[in-house]
Amino acid sequence: MNAPLRDYQAKALFAVAHEGYQYLGLEQGLGKSRILIEYAKLEGARRILVFCPASVRLSWETEVAKWWSDAPPVVLVNSVKQITNHPGIFVMSYDRISRGEDYVKAIGLVMPFDLAFADEAHYAKNLEAKRTKHLFRAVLPKVGKMILASGTPAPNHAGELYPALRFLAPEKIMKADGRPMTQTQFEDAFCRIEQKFFNGRQTRVITGSQNIPALRERLNGFLLRMRKSEVLTELPPLEFVPTPLAPSLAGIEANALRGYSDILSEDMSDEQVLAALGSMDENAARLRVALGVAKANAAIEYIDEFMDGSQKKIVVWAIHQNVIDILMSGLKHLGAVKIDGRTPEKDRRYAIAAFLGDANTRVFIGNIQAAGTGLTLIGPQFPCSDAFFVESDYVPGNNLQAAARIHRLGQRDGVLARVFFARKTIDDRVQSILARKQNELAQIFN
């Protein structure tokens, strides 16, 4: 028999079913998928679309089997032919609707769906992105109701809430003339805007959020925010601790770590630093890889010492494939398993099962994008309360998501996330910038 909903989960279910809430902004680990499944059961839904990151699709298969005994069949959509008129829970990655018009057309040609769930809905934060356009313009008219869910509804700034509000609750952003705000008007109202010059051209740059109390008032009745500290007082704290490493130059291009002046200057603002490092510029990309590689071997030494003489299990996060390869090679004696963008689904299943159930598999290495959402990396057999970020994402919310893979229901200990930075490099400043932005974003939802 299913375990009963926790009190806060029952409250969230009531809010969606009876109070009109359309966005579950519950922090990671509070059971958003369980609430959505219970809502589908309550509505008697038999045709459901679920959109989520590719790495979360398997989790939906597991959660449905766990909480819904007579559920429609779960279909992990890999082909347009799988989108049919039959009952089913059709689970599709955001990449599918981003890349293929065929998938959008297939949804349009079959019978309407009872419900659609957009899990990790912050993936649809950019109004110009194909996934956002397809989700709200093409899919929304084909479903009876769409519910969004994310632990980080606006990873960078308040403006990222606009697409959800515009298409699901335009009445929340109405102006005095009875028309909804444009995106620019919404950003002007709730974001800090600066005019900056790049390559001789003036550019509108969002540097943060503003007028948060007024925004929260508009979000009332639409976005339900619940924090672990409020609803799970027994859940131990999560703490991020900057941890310096002496970067190793072995195997790195000779001038990579010394070439900051090519893309950075001392008079740059914090936002310009992150924008420059996070851009698609070739020099910036080379620098990011070099920083990761420079930390990888030093991180292996640190982790080796940390694990010596213990039977702990740990989670290690990175971004670049060659950094992950170095970590896998250096930590293989600890039974390391990994999930990144190259990992097939069957190997994902194996990695998770081994980490949760095999005493000799003591290290899980994950790419923040491919494995940082949707997975639960704690289980009843072996405790795990330590995370190590060899590389950090330049979007603070993505790092929170990754750390929350072990800071969730079932955790008995405080979670310590050690964030490695290459000492005496740009990493020192980057980590301080991310910490400040992360705290500012938290104010929106606290």
Q: Are strands 201-209 and 191-198 parallel, antiparallel or unpaired?
A: antiparallel
Measured CA to CA, the distance from residue 422 to residue 243 in angstroms comes to 9
pLDDT score of 51: 96
Handedness of CA 395, 397, 399, 401 (dihedral sign): negative
* Separation of first and last alpha carbons in the chain: 35
What is the full per-residue pLDDT of the chain (446 aa) written as tens digits? 478 898 999 999 999 999 999 999 998 778 899 999 999 999 999 999 999 988 688 779 888 988 999 999 999 999 999 999 999 999 999 989 887 789 999 999 999 999 999 999 999 999 999 999 999 999 999 998 999 999 889 988 999 999 999 999 999 999 999 999 999 999 999 999 988 877 778 888 888 899 999 999 999 999 999 987 778 666 667 778 778 787 775 545 545 555 554 566 667 787 777 777 666 567 667 778 888 988 999 899 889 888 887 788 999 999 999 999 999 999 999 999 999 999 998 999 999 999 999 999 999 999 999 999 889 999 888 989 899 999 998 888 888 889 889 988 778 777 888 888 877 777 777 777 776 665 565 456 54
Whether pTM > 0.95 for this model: the answer is: no
Measured CA to CA, the distance from residue 289 to residue 425 in angstroms comes to 14
Q: Determine if residue 54 is left, alpha or beta; phi over 0 gives left, psi from -120 to 50 gives alpha, anything else beta.
A: alpha
Q: Which domains does the chain have, with CATH numbers?
A: 7-229 (3.40.50.10810), 238-445 (3.40.50.300)
pLDDT score of 235: 61
pLDDT score of 254: 44
Q: Are strands 115-119 and 47-52 parallel, antiparallel or unpaired?
A: parallel
